[in-house]
Every structure is written in C-alpha cells, then in structure tokens.
Amino acid sequence: MSDVCATILKPLASPLTGEVHVPGDKSISHRAILFAAMAEGTSKVTGVLDSEDVRSSIKAVCQLGAEVNLKKDGSGALCGTITGWGSKGPEQPEDPIDCGNSGTTARLLMGMLAPWPIQVTITGDASLRLRPMRRNTAPLMKMGVQFKPAEADHLPITEIGNPNLRAITYDAPMASAQLKTAVLLAGVYAQGTTTLNEPAPSRNHTELMLPEFGVPTTAGTRVATVSGPCVMHAADVVVPGDPSSAAFLCAAAILKRGSSICVEDVSLNPARIGFVRTLERMGANIEDARKGSEGKEPYGSICASYTPHLRGCEVPSQHFASIVDEVPILAVVAAHAKGVTVFKGAAELRVKETDRLQAIIDGLEQVGIDAWEEGDNLYVEGDPDLTVPPNTTFPSHGDHRLAMTWAVLGMCSNTPVSIEGFESISVSYPGFMDAIRSLEA
C-alpha cells in the first residue's frame, strides 16, 4: 500500500464560467529573478510567480550575494526589488545551493556561475538529482568551465568558474530553452560571439529579456547569439500570466459540458501557446487574442468553451518543444477525442520531473484508454464516451503537471477520483483549486 497521502476530488457540480487570472509565468519569473541578480544596480520586478520552484531561484541568488526584497501583492504575486552583484560577481556561498525540484534553477545557475572564480556545488531534491545535466555541462566545459566530477550527468555537481571563458558555436542535440539559456548567459561574459543552434525552436524568453538588461542579442527561429564581454544593467520586468497554468483551466472548460471561460493577461508568446494550436487541431472551441506586450513579451486572453466533438490529430516533432509541459493535459483531451492523436518526438517527457511518458500511458490505461509509445512518439486512441471507473487512484509521482492533469480528468468525469501527492501542485500553481472553485461558482 502506498504511504503517499491521497486527495479525493469530486466531479464538478456545475460548468466553469467567467474570467480568471493565472499566476505569473514560471519561466519568465525565474529569468526575472536570475537576470536581475546578475545585473548592475537595482531591478524592479512585478507579477512574479510565488511557487516552490521560483523560491528556489530566489534562495539561490541570495546565497550568491544578491539583495532580494520581494513581498506578496494583492493578487498573491511577488513584487519588489532585486539588487544584483553586477561586475563584482557573485559571492562564494558557504553551503551547496539546493535547487529543490527546479531544473530551471539548476541549469541556468550553471551558465550564471561560469565566468566567476568561485567553486559552487549545485544539488536538488531526489527527483531533480535524477534529471540529466550533461546536456548543460558539455557546452560549458567547451567554454572553459570545470565540473566535478567531469563526467557527471546528475546532481550534485560542483562547478568551478573561469574568468577567461571562450566564446563557442554550439549545435545543441535537443531543443531546450534551459540549455540555450545557460550557454547564452555564459556567453555574456565570454570574449567574442557565442552562438547556439537548435534542431527545433524552444522557448525564447531569454532572447527577449536579455536586451532589457542591456545585452544585445540576435535571435532567429533556431539560432541565438550574444557577443561579450558585456555588463548587464538593472531593468524593470512585469511578468504576464503563465500559459502552462492556463492550459489546465482551458482543458477543463473544453471537457465540462456548458463551460465557457476566458483566461486574462496571460503570455501569448508563440513558443508557449502551442497547446492552443494543438487544441484547435482537435476541433476544440479555443482562441487567443493579443492585447499588448510587457517588454517584448506579448500578452492577452485565451478563451475556451465546452466542445462536444473532439477529433484526434498529429503534433509534428518540430512543434513538440512548444507543448512539452502541456502534453499530459493534452493527452487527457485526446483521450476524449474520436480517433488517434500522435505526439511526435515525445522522448523528452522521460526526463522531466518524472517519466511523464510512462505516467501518461499508465494513467490513461486506468480509465480504459489505449495509449502507447512507438519510437519517440506517443499515441493516444480516444473514446468520446470515456468514463472513469469507481475508486480510481492516480499517482502524481510528485509531479505538479501530472497532479493537475489527473485532477482535470477526475473533475470532468462521472465519479470521484483520488490523486496521490496532489500537494505537488505548489511547485507551479498553488492556487489551482481556488481558480477552479471561482469558475465553478
């Protein structure tokens, strides 16, 4: 018997209707904190997501000597100032930096620490210590950074910076915004032009935000460059709502009869709303509308409503990076569709907070849905008449995305479900159930 506490979620008593705001974008929040810590002067940040992952980044930069003065505003977001270490560089921390469950914190730190003559041990929780890190250390070693052990692919890893970094041109083996960002951040201080080429587009928040901090950046669809050395300067950053969080609310509205919602002031960065395009291909009633921009980040609304007839579709591998965090919930929508949905290039799901690929297959099997892996592809054969067996329990494996995925499946079903480790939603969306209740009311 599992010793993980289970949370029982009942089916929604009424449709989801109305407008809602989601917390600040997690990816942008991390970068706002980390870039401000690197910069000369005091930056002002607003709308920062208050979650366990982002607090890992805050704790890390405090250990390294940044002065962080943030507090909650009326919406529950963090706002305030961050004074960075600038040209004097980060301080030598007394203890290892524990990144908790945050892969973004760990991987971006590697690039931030690269140009400084300090030795820092980076570690994390049991889940993070299983995630691959060689993808980051390999290019940084080419730039002159040392890691101990040199061949390590998992945390804990000790990094020894190099004030004389070499600029490189690097062909990344996978589309990864975390890898790209680490290399670019090291390149800010390297002599010459650092270029990173990707096999497919990944999130471009770093390329959009670095110029705000005074770093000239050149970016194309699958290439990004910085020229160094360059001193980062303080900037003001307003963080829009997180589209990954919005995806769960939109999916619930699409699956719950009579629902119609609008998520307001959410990031509409094209690299982040691949889930909208995918749901459109499934025939879902969903649309986005741009209202403005914060810096270079577009924002607006995403509206979704109940869709009785969904159809399977194919997601090409070159688009996978734009939906990587939303595949679990998209698989649940696909489970309600007629026909087969194919997510191509889904192997990256195996190295997220848990093996999400296998977890999706196992979870859908519990409700009678055939889902399988062939090569690097995930297949889901939907059933428009899907019903959930009584007394179904879904394990979250401590993964916040899976916890919310099975919550949506349960709340839009016919019978209560239990979710083990549901509290893991605090990693990215602590107020998820509050948002559901507000829309149900």
Strands 236-238 and 223-228: unpaired
Structural domain contains residue 274 = yes
Nearest to residue 107, comparing CAs of 143, 40, 71, 56?
56
Judgement on whether residues 234 and 244 belong to the same structural domain of the protein: no
In the chain, which stretches have pLDDT less than 70?
A: 1-4
Q: State which of 186, 206, 238 marks the end of a domain.
A: 238
Examine residue 187 and state whether it is found in any structural domain, yes or no: yes
SS3 (DSSP) at 430: coil
414's CB contacts (< 8 A; 6+ apart) are 11, 387, 388
Sheet (strand 297-305) strand order? 17-21, 260-267, 297-305, 285-294
DSSP 88-113: G-----SS-EE-TT-HHHHHHHHHHH
Q: What digits encode the pLDDT tens for the residues 41-66?
A: 999 999 999 999 999 999 999 999 99
What's the CA gap between 172 and 348, in Å, rounded?
14
| Boundary-marking domain end, from 178, 204, 238 | 238
Strands 260-267 and 297-305: antiparallel
Other C-beta atoms closer than 10 Å to the C-beta of 37 total 26
* Structure tokens belonging to residue 271: 């690299």
Q: Considering the domain boundaries, does residue 58 fall inside one?
A: yes
Q: Of 433, 413, 431, 436, nearest to 24 (Cα)?
A: 431
Asked whether residue 331 falls in the same domain as residue 431, the answer is yes
Which pair of tokens denotes residue 13? 């008593």
Do 283 and 191 belong together in one domain?
A: no
Domain boundary among 238, 260, 285: 238
Residue with tokens 């592809």: 377
In the chain the first and final C-alpha atoms are separated, in Å, by 36
Which pLDDT value is given to residue 219?
A: 86
Strands 260-267 and 17-21: parallel
Instruction: Tell whether pTM > 0.75.
Output: yes
Looking at residue 258, which CATH number applies to its domain?
3.65.10.10
* Total number of domains in the chain: 2
In a domain, 1, yes or no: no
Are 13 and 84 part of one and the same domain? Answer: no
* Residue 140 domain-assigned (yes or no): yes
Task: Please indicate, yes or no, whether residues 47 and 173 belong to a single structural domain of this protein.
Answer: yes
Give residue 167's domain range.
26-238
Q: Is 325 a catalytic residue?
A: yes
CA distance 399 to 250: 20
What Rg, from alpha-carbon coordinates, does the chain have? 21
Within this chain, do residues 170 and 48 fall inside the same structural domain, yes or no? yes
Three-state SS for 277? helix
Q: Looking at the structure, do residues 130 and 277 belong to the same domain, yes or no? A: no
DSSP β-ladder status, 6-9 and 17-21: unpaired
**Shared domain check, 326 and 299:** yes
Residues 337 and 248 grouped into a single domain: yes
The single residue of 25, 242, 325, 399 carrying the catalytic annotation is 325
Q: Which of 435, 393, 434, 426 is nearest to 410 (CA)?
A: 393
Q: Dihedral through CA 128, CA 27, CA 202, CA 158, nearest 10?
A: -40
Residue 22 · residue 435 · CB < 8 Å:
yes
- Same domain (yes/no): 141, 222: yes
pLDDT at 3: 56
CA 231 from centroid of its chain's CA atoms? 27
The answer on 122 and 108 residing in a single domain is yes
- 165 and 37 within one domain: yes
Residue 380 in tokens: 């889901």
Give pLDDT tens digits for 394-431. Answer: 999 999 999 999 999 999 999 999 999 999 998 889 99
Report the distance separating Cα 333 and Cα 384, nearest Å.
10
